Amino acid sequence: MSSTERGSLPALFLFDDSDKLSAMTRRRWIADEYEGDGAALTGQNAAHLARVLRARVGQEFDIAVGDRVRRGRITSVAEDRVDFALGEDLAIGEAQPITLCLAVFKFDRFEWAVEKCTEIGVAKIVPVIARRTEPHLAKAATKRRERWEKIAREAAQQSRRSSVPEIAEPVKLKIGIASSPGLRIVLAENERQVMLRDVVAPEPLALAVGPEGGWTPEELEEFDTQGWKRASLGETILRAETAAIAAVAVATAFGE
Ligand code: SAH
């Protein structure tokens, strides 16, 4: 084909060649069901693949099944179900497990934090009810969990992670403080000495970020008592969602 002919093709044509597209950017899907050498997407994921991406039998995708990612070849397509035959295992980067204890704050901003921290690579988010979490948000948090799970799932898919971060049941801060694993760091805007980048290490980490009104002095003492280290993200006061995203980004930069 001459370049003139190519130039006269409608631009959409180039993007409609889904075989080429999938080979270039082979999308990663997280299986809704799997067993042995078979896996399936169902519901919205299937509809998206079938209708929007016009999946066809024989096309290949990367399919995350449990803690593995395998090559998957489509064996059947319907609007509500796409089946795959699973083949070779693909190498997956082991994420440094980061648990984020995130104080519940305004839901639109909280959702933003869930999405972005998932993209960057958080392993688990524990929504915590802090002293300065607004009472009506604290009350509604448990019911929101399903929505946060959906946001995390979509963000994991989108960023081609091989796993979806766990969104824990919202708990009182005291429980979050006591139960978090690994090297534990509380982000505190009034910490002046210790920078987060100087305390993170390539090991399992727990990071805690406060609500819009910040931690109370009593809460910071409770963190101290339970062996958490205080750390700063710099001299400016960040909004809670910005602090969460920045903290996870700094921490993953030190992962192996
Ligand atoms: N209400 C406070 C700010 C709270 S910011 C004020 O206006 O003074 C919300 C949360 O983000 C804090 O609890 C802390 O966990 C985190 N945060 C914001 N800026 C930070 C910084 N510079 N260093 C560390 N943590 C920060």
**Domain map (residue ranges) of the chain:** 12-90, 98-252
Ligand 1 near 126 CB (within 6 A): no
| Mean pLDDT over each residue of the chain, to the nearest integer | 87
What six digits make up the tokens of 174?
């005291």
Residue 239 main-chain phi, psi, to 5 deg: -65, 155
Output the residue whose Cα is nearest ligand 1's atom 21.
Answer: 189
What six digits make up the tokens of 7?
């130039």
Burial class of residue 249 in the structure, from the number of CB atoms within 10 Å of its CB (0-12 exposed, 13-18 middle, 19+ buried): middle
- Provide the pLDDT for residue 13: 37
Q: What is the pLDDT of residues 105-114, one digit of tens each?
A: 999 999 999 9
Residue of 110, 193, 238, 250 to test ligand 1 pocket, by largest number of atoms within 8 Å of CB: 238
> Residue 181: which pLDDT band, with cuts at 50, 70 and 90?
confident
- Provide the pLDDT for residue 250: 94
Lowest mean pLDDT among 52-56, 76-80, 230-234: 52-56
- Provide the pLDDT for residue 155: 96
Ligand 1 near 246 CB (within 6 A): no
| Cβ neighbours, 10 Å, residue 30 | 23
Q: What is the pLDDT of residues 194-213, one digit of tens each?
A: 999 999 987 889 999 999 99
| Cβ neighbours, 10 Å, residue 113 | 25
Looking from the CA of 205 toward its CB, the CA atoms found within 13 Å total 29
Give the list of residues 6+ apart from residue 243 with CB closer than 8 angstroms, or none: 187, 189, 209, 210, 233
Nearest partner of 185 among 144, 149, 214, 226, judged by Cα: 226
Lowest mean pLDDT among 51-55, 71-75, 120-124, 238-242: 51-55
> Distance, CA 68 to ligand 1 centroid (Å)?
37
What six digits make up the tokens of 179?
């139960």
What six digits make up the tokens of 42?
């169902």
- Provide the pLDDT for residue 9: 39
Q: Look at residue 77 and tell me whether its pLDDT is greater than 90.
A: yes
Lowest mean pLDDT among 46-50, 100-104, 218-222: 46-50
pTM: 0.75
Q: What is the CATH number of domain 98-252?
A: 3.40.1280.10
Task: Please name the amino acid found at residue 103.
Answer: A
Output the residue whose Cα is nearest ligand 1's atom 18.
Answer: 238
Distances from the Cα of 63 to the Cαs of 25, 90, 118, 119, 147, in angstroms? 13, 9, 18, 18, 23
Domain 12-90 has CATH 2.40.240.20: yes
Q: What is the pLDDT of residues 17-70, one digit of tens each?
A: 444 444 445 677 889 999 999 999 999 889 988 988 889 999 998 898 987 889
Q: What is the mean pLDDT of residues 82-101?
A: 84
> Residue 161: which pLDDT band, with cuts at 50, 70 and 90?
confident
> Distance, CA 149 to ligand 1 centroid (Å)?
25
> Distance, CA 41 to ligand 1 centroid (Å)?
40
Distance between CA atoms of 183 and 203, rounded to whole angstroms?
Answer: 7
